[in-house]
Structures are given as structure tokens and as C-alpha cells.
Copies of this chain bind each other. A is one copy, B any other.
Amino acid sequence: MPIPLVLTGYGNVGKSFVRLLAEKHEDCRTRYGLEFDLAAIVRKSGSWIADRIGSFFSLTGPSPQVLESLPDWLPGRSLSRVFDHFDRLGKRGALIECTPSNWRTGEPQLQFLHEAFDRGWHVAAASKGALVVDFKNLRDKALSKELALKFSGATAAALPTLDVATVSLAGARILGFEGILTGTTNYILTRLEQGLTFAEALEEAQAKGIAEPDPSMDIDGWDTACKLLLLANASVGTKFTIKDIPVEGIRKVNARMIQDARASGNSLKLLGWLSEVAGVYRGEVGLVPVPPSHPLYRLTGTSKGIVFRTDTMGQVAVTDGKSDPRATAAALLKDIINIFRRH
């Protein structure tokens, strides 16, 4: 029995996910005994429900079809209608959430995730908004219904931050962690080290599609703060909201600051970190001179990484991992494989 997947959002990540699923469909069956079927897509302009198993291949074939021109296209976004359809068929599966979400309100993702759990569907999310805003309620709801809430794609894509924190370090106490969690800021800092001014580095990053047209989410440190919040809340049970995290960005970085770090043999990085002070966890985002012996020192350009400190396993570092739409799609695929696979 194929496992139905419902995709919300059909931008770069959503489209990459559809292509990747078509490419890896057979592989999932042979390697994991899992057959996934993309059974519906919901976007702002409307919804598509597949008329038969495997219909989604027509979206990626040699003459890919436009969603809006498919016979089953229904104008008007309605995830409820899609879930109703599968309820009538007695089918449940996983929601693949790729809608751009507002990290102040969490919408529209927040509504999607609550509805998925209310309807008995697992969730793999690539966007952060709803999780940043309402992590505790979402996780409690998922737990109470024995449903999975995975969000590798929202916490550094192919860099397995969330897996390592929750699976590889299961049973260990995380004493703290520190990470380069945003590729854009690391790229700009690398270019500053190479002699560019901040304005030049930012412009270059935007020209290359590394920085957004409005880069403030990244360069003011909020993207790092959101990922730090999610990783901490998911791994050590903090109840951080974004207001609990002091955040410093990279706008003020100048040649002098870069040189000062260099003069001591260090490299200036924007880190998000969790530490324990007087028995209480604190999260913070800021500029830190990182010494050469540290696992994050060598990470230049858009590379990311995180170092966990634990009570029983010592320090565990995980670095690199791509962060393009295909890698984010791969993180979503990984999450659903891990939700449904047996040992």
C-alpha cells in the first residue's frame, strides 16, 4: 500500500521535492520497503488531488505538466478538502510542508501543521515559521497522537543537526552546542576576510542567490536564532520563544574586527549557541572569534556546522552538508523514510 503524501507549497523546495521523489521512488521501495505516493499538492492558488497512484510522475516527466492545467486542479487553497478526500478513502500519510512561512505569526504553516495532526497525519516540515512560534503545542499534539513531527529541512537542510541532537545523542545530556547555522552570513564573513567591504560582499551574495533581496532575516541573525531555538527546544526541552534569545547580526562587522580576530589566529564567525549558566540553558546569537583547533574554524563560504557537548559522549561535531533546494528536498525525504521505516 503506497503511503500518501500531501505537499503544501510548490516553490523551489516543493518542486525539488517532487522531482526527487520521482527520482528516488524505486530506490525507496527496494532499500526501505516503502512506497511513497505524492497524492496531493496544495498551494495558494489552488489544490491538486491525484486521480490515481503515481500521477505525480506526470509533473516531472519529459513533458512536465503545469499543476494549474491538470484536470484535477481545484482553484482556491484548501488543505481541509484534501484531508477530507483521504478520510473518505480511509488513508493517512504525511504532510510535506514547504510553504514560505512568516516567523512572527507562523502562518500559513501553523494552521497546516495543527490540521495535519488533528487529522492523524505525520509531518515533515521544511519551513520554520510555525515551529518557531508554537513548537511546544505542536510537539505535544504530535506526541499525544503518536505522530511524528520532523523538521530537518528547517534546521540546516542536509546538515543533520536535528538527527544528531535527537537520535545520535539520545540518552546523553546535551550540555551545550554552538553552530554556524546560516550559510549566507558565513559566506559574507568569508568574503570580508578576503578583503571585500560589507556592502560588496552582500551585493555579491545577492547576485549569486545566496542572500535574499531582503537579507535582514539572515544578516541580522534571526535565521540563526530560529534554528537555535528549534534545536534547543527539540533536544533539551527548553521553551524558548524568539524573544528569549539575544541576537547580534553581522551588519556592523568591519575590516578592523576581521583583522583583530585574524591577528590572534582566529576566524570571526556568526554562531548560535546554547550554554548552561547556573543550571539554566541560555541561547544566544553573536560574533565569536573561532580558534583553528575548533571544528567550525575551517568552514568557509556557505558551509555550516554544529558542535554538541555532552555528558557521556564528549564533543560531537557535524559539518558541511549542502543547502540548496535539492538538499532541502533530500532532508524532507530522509525525514519521511525515518518516520515510516522499520528498524
User: Are A322 and B326 in contact, CB atoms less than 8 angstroms apart?
Assistant: no
Chain B positions within 8 Å of A256 at CB level = none
Partner of A170, one of B292, B293, B337, B342: B337
Interface assignment of A298: CB less than 8 Å from any CB of chain B: yes
A330, closest chain B residue (CB): B312
User: Within the assembled complex, what's the spacing in Å between the Cα atoms of A316 and B312?
Assistant: 23
Number of this chain's copies in the complex: 2
Interface assignment of A169: CB less than 8 Å from any CB of chain B: yes
- Contact stretch, chosen from A71-79, A97-105, A143-151, A184-192: A143-151
Interface assignment of A50: CB less than 8 Å from any CB of chain B: no
Interface assignment of A295: CB less than 8 Å from any CB of chain B: yes
Tell whether A316 pairs with B168 under 8 Å between CB atoms, given A147-B343, A339-B343, A343-B149. no
Interface assignment of A244: CB less than 8 Å from any CB of chain B: no
User: Are B321 and A158 in contact, CB atoms less than 8 angstroms apart?
Assistant: no
Q: At the interface, is chain A mostly helix, strand, loop or mixed?
A: mixed
User: Within the assembled complex, what's the spacing in Å between the Cα atoms of A157 and B168?
Assistant: 11
Interface assignment of A315: CB less than 8 Å from any CB of chain B: yes
Tell whether A330 pairs with B342 under 8 Å between CB atoms, given A164-B160, A293-B298, A318-B318. no
Quote the shortest CB–CB distance from A138 to chain B (angstroms).
Answer: 13
User: Are B313 and A158 in contact, CB atoms less than 8 angstroms apart?
Assistant: yes
Interface assignment of A3: CB less than 8 Å from any CB of chain B: no
Interface assignment of A341: CB less than 8 Å from any CB of chain B: yes
User: Are A163 and B158 in contact, CB atoms less than 8 angstroms apart?
Assistant: no
User: Within the assembled complex, what's the spacing in Å between the Cα atoms of A122 and B310?
Assistant: 26
Interface assignment of A171: CB less than 8 Å from any CB of chain B: yes
A138-178 interface with B by 8 A CB criterion: 142-143, 146-150, 157-160, 163-164, 167-173
A292, closest chain B residue (CB): B298
Chain B positions within 8 Å of A160 at CB level = 164, 167-169, 316
Interface assignment of A334: CB less than 8 Å from any CB of chain B: yes
- Residue interface mask A189-202, B partner, CB < 8 A = 1: 00000000000000
User: Are A170 and B338 in contact, CB atoms less than 8 angstroms apart?
Assistant: yes
A295-334 interface with B by 8 A CB criterion: 295, 297-298, 305, 307, 310, 312-322, 326-327, 329-331, 333-334
User: Are A343 and B312 in contact, CB atoms less than 8 angstroms apart?
Assistant: no
Q: Which of A149, A159, A172, A292 has the most chain B CB atoms inside 10 A of its CB? A: A172
User: Are A318 and B316 in contact, CB atoms less than 8 angstroms apart?
Assistant: yes
User: Within the assembled complex, what's the spacing in Å between the Cα atoms of A165 and B104?
Assistant: 35
Quote the shortest CB–CB distance from A338 to chain B (angstroms).
Answer: 6
Q: Give me the interface of A with B, judged by CB distance under 8 Å.
A: 20, 24, 27-28, 31-32, 122, 142-143, 146-150, 157-160, 163-164, 167-173, 237, 292-293, 295, 297-298, 305, 307, 310, 312-322, 326-327, 329-331, 333-334, 337-339, 341-343
The 7 closest A-B pairs by CB, nearest first: A314-B322, A158-B313, A160-B168, A148-B343, A312-B330, A171-B333, A170-B337
Further 5 A-B residue pairs, CB within 8 A, beyond A147-B343, A313-B321, A314-B320: A27-B173, A146-B342, A164-B164, A170-B334, A339-B343
